[in-house]
Amino acid sequence: MDADGKLPSFLPSACPKKDTRSSTPLETFSNICLILINRQVAQPSGGSKMNVQAEPGMAALAAIKANYSLTPEQRQIVDHVDRVAREILHPLQEKMDAEEWWPEDLFRQMGELGLLGITAPEELGGSGQNEFTQALVSETISKWNPAVGLSHGAHDNLCLNNILRNGSDEQVRKYVPGLCSGELVGALGLTEPGAGSDALGSMATGAVRDGNDYVINGSKIYITNGPIADVILVYAKTDKAKGAKGISAFIVETDNPGFKVAQKLDKMGFRGSPTGELVFEDCRVPASAMIGAENSGVSVVMSGLDLERAMVASVCVGMAERALELALDYARIREQFGKPIASFQMVQAMLAEMYTEIEAARSLSLRTAAMCEGLEEGEGGRGEIHKLTAAAIFKAAAATSFVLDRAVQIHGGSGYMRDTEVNRLYRTGRVLEVGAGTQEVRKLIISGELLKN
């Protein structure tokens, strides 16, 4: 519970009294939807009493609630981020989408507002929070401006948190404070023109030792923040004969000779978040720029990918939540046949289905984020966390696609207009079933872990 004694919004405040009368699925959907429309939750009658044999113990109930409640500090953080995102980031959305525009000083502003370095210790300029709180921040930002949510995740999770978890003390001290303040912008370079789902096996970018340096040659594509990044965590093969086990991770400063942004890409969604193709032509970096030992980059990759999937699941939930809000508002004010379309059962059914999908995705997303806490170096890429993060993003992406489709349907013709917020969400949501591993790859990960002895 929060400081006011209230449960978080994703928990029902009470269970409705059981109704023994049989009801149709449409009536069930309508009942849920009417709760949403009226912004009320049905309360049980004072005389109702559950079957004693079916009633869980108070300790069990407390444990269930604890798994889904926020600490007072987490609630304060979410409230702060929600206010900032709603008042500052949301108004930027229309111009960012129309012009593929990124505000030049936005990362510095986010640093000043405390939105960066969520998992970094306070002595390095961060907030000292865990991955669960980072997921809450990601969800909240993405609700009000998905493009900022995406760039924030690439900076804070893929770059900063990876350096924090896997870098040497010297590397952490050198880069993390600037990434926390927003003076440095971070990115991660993994995907290549010929290496998408098979990112490790098909990786062509290579790094060759030359004295005290490594010389990197190759290219990366679809890199979020690539065109504006100061620091990029780059994966390259240092021993091609070893395949995926011959990959190393490097911190590349983008003012290094031999690095260039080949092009800024024009996207269907997440517009404004800068995405680019990066080229390395005899790009020389010092050996001290390597994270960990030579040929040990696969452990950094795999743990980073698991954390990325957990964070992107939160992006999905935030976007879906906003789509439901827009659909509810529109259903209340749009009138046809002399009454609001919210009064029609088929619209109510869509709203109820949307709500249910969001809450299911949110529950799995939060459980997964909690499981990511304390993930040891090299622990990702296998076992329960590998399976769970793939499941979380698989469910969240599918749920978001469903919710966005229904949101556009409820908006009718206006939802098809490019300048509406629900249309921006719809275009943006499509890549959630592709990026950070396709839905097909996610299913392979889940089934692969299930079938292990």
What are the structure tokens assigned to 384, written together? 């329960």
Q: Where are the beta strands (DSSP E) in 265-368?
A: 275-286, 290-291, 335-336, 339-340
Q: How many residues in total does the chain contain?
A: 453
Residue 34: predicted pLDDT? 57
Beta pairing partners, 209: 214
Structure confidence at residue 8 (pLDDT): 36
* DSSP-assigned letters across all residues of 333-387: H-EETTEEGGGSHHHHHHHHHHHHHHHHHHHHHHHHHHHTTTPPTT--SSHHHHH
Residue 340 in 3-state DSSP? Answer: strand
The pLDDT, as a whole number, for residue 453 is 63
Q: How far is C-alpha 115 from the geometric centre of its chain's CA atoms?
A: 15
pLDDT at 376: 72
Give the tokens for residue 218: 């190759």
pLDDT attached to residue 69 = 75
Distance CA 385, CA 376 (A): 11
Nearest to 118 by CA among 154, 84, 161, 170: 161
Low-confidence ranges of the chain (pLDDT < 50): 1-23, 25, 29, 39-56
User: Active-site positions?
Assistant: 308
Determine the Cα–Cα distance for residues 222 and 202; give it in Å rounded to an integer: 16
Helix axes 439-450, 383-411, angle to 10 degrees: 140
Task: Measure the CA–CA gap between 290 and 127, rounded to whole angstroms.
Answer: 26
Provide the whole-model pTM.
0.85
Whether the CB-CB separation of 217 and 189 falls below 8 Å is answered with no
- Rounded (5°) CA angle 446-395-235: 60
